[in-house]
Chain A
């Protein structure tokens, strides 16, 4: 007795495309986050949001 439902072609395509696109977008936005942090560190020496040397 096989109670498990066989996945359809459309379901496999949806999972494959979803994983590929979601993975790529997460990779892109994570990269943007890291480069933003690096820019902030370059500008302020270290991340210090509440004691910003440019705001007196």
Chain B
């Protein structure tokens, strides 16, 4: 396994984390508006 493999794994983990944070951010903003 070369560096490229670890680079892509790290990029996929980061993209997943960003998507998760994005969804939580949207949900929290929605709840704040409702309050």
- Same complex origin of A and B: no
Binding site for B on A (CB under 8 A): none
